Amino acid sequence: MRLDGKAALITGGNSGIGLATARVFVEQGAKVAITGRDQATLDEAVASLGPNALAFRADIMDAAANEAAIRAAGEAFGHLDIVVANAGIAGGTPVGGTSAEQFGRILTTNVTGVFLTVQAAAPYLRQGASVVLIGSVHAVLGMPGYAAYAASKGAVSSLGRVLASELATAGVRVNVVVPGATRTPIWSRFGRGPNALAEMEPAMVRAVPSGRISEVAEIANTILFLASDDATNITAAEIVVDGGLTGAPSGAPIYRG
Ligand code: NDP
């Protein structure tokens, strides 16, 4: 098993990409601590993940609570080999219709929360540990109406490079996985309704060379690779998992005859 005996922390491990990653990690022999806000889905996740999973409820917007949850995970396992700073929110912030509070909430969750998560975990990270941050193709798409989300994910990529150099002295690797559109509950949050992804998907995939969005397992397996000893000399890297959307846009169905 690729993570035999390793101890992992995954923020936002009760939904979507984080939950799929927790599942793959447990299957590969890791002990996993997950965080999130919603106690019911934290409980369901732990029940389905089995005896090698623990949950700690904390809102990342509450820096002290988030730090306490991460310390609790570190103390429960004695150390951490893997941190996946995955918790994040999306949401529109169009010019002319956005309050400081709305803009700040996205940046605090997706940027400050990621930094403070890694900072709180750092004392528990052993030589050879792996930190994985979750960016987004929004960082480079320039999609109208998403200034805060795009800026937050551009910042995650920048954070990844700084943290990779800063934690190199401790023998800790830091990398960023950059997903394109992926099938998770994020699409139906923020009042978009339960069918939001189904409604957008047909148009969206016309811009993707692979002709489809990603499934959570495809992102989780990429995180697994970076977390595992298959990636022991990979740090400060980004792996884009977007079906070619950003790297080869001319190959998209929309441009085919
Ligand atoms: P989900 O909405 O399914 O999951 C988000 C997770 O983050 C949940 O577990 C949620 O916990 C947690 N979370 C959100 N806000 C907070 C908070 N304030 N405190 C603690 N936990 C919080 O989304 P995804 O799985 O899709 O998203 C995971 C990551 O992937 C995010 O960083 C997202 O930006 C990124 N991403 C997703 C893409 C996609 O198309 N799905 C594409 C590119 C990047 P709770 O449910 O308890 O609130």
Along the 257 residues of the chain, how does pLDDT read in single tens digits?
A: 999 999 999 999 999 999 999 999 999 999 999 999 999 999 999 999 999 999 999 999 999 999 999 999 999 999 999 999 999 999 999 999 999 999 999 999 999 999 999 999 999 999 999 999 999 999 999 999 999 999 999 999 999 999 999 999 999 999 999 999 999 999 999 778 889 999 999 999 999 999 999 999 999 999 999 999 999 999 999 999 999 999 999 999 999 87
Determine the distance separating the centroid of ligand 1 and the alpha carbon of 86, expressed in angstroms.
7
d(CA 221, CA 201): 23
Radius of gyration over every alpha carbon of the chain, rounded to an integer in angstroms: 18
Q: Which amino acid is present at 147?
A: A
CA dihedral sign, ordered 186, 191, 197, 201: negative
Q: Which amino acid is present at 12?
A: G
Please name the residue whose Cα sits nearest to atom 13 of ligand 1. Answer: 87
- The pick from 60, 62, 132, 184 for probing ligand 1's pocket by mutation, whose C-beta has the most ligand atoms within 8 angstroms, reads 184
Please state the pTM of the whole predicted model. 0.98
Residue 247 DSSP symbol: T
CA distance to 134, 172, 175, per residue, from 167 (Å) = 18, 5, 11
Backbone dihedral region of 231: left (phi > 0), alpha (psi from -120 to 50 degrees) or beta? alpha
Which residues are marked as active site?
A: 149
d(CA 69, CA 119): 13
Q: Directed axis angle between helix 16-27 and helix 216-227, to 10°?
A: 50
* pLDDT value of position 226: 98
Which of ligand 1's atoms lies nearest the C-alpha of 87?
7
Q: Is there a contact between 167 and 131 (Cβ–Cβ < 8 Å)?
A: yes
* pLDDT value of position 81: 98
Q: Is there a contact between 182 and 213 (Cβ–Cβ < 8 Å)?
A: yes
Within 8 A by CB and 6+ apart from 220, the residues are: 17, 20, 21, 23, 24
* pLDDT value of position 192: 81
* pLDDT value of position 126: 94
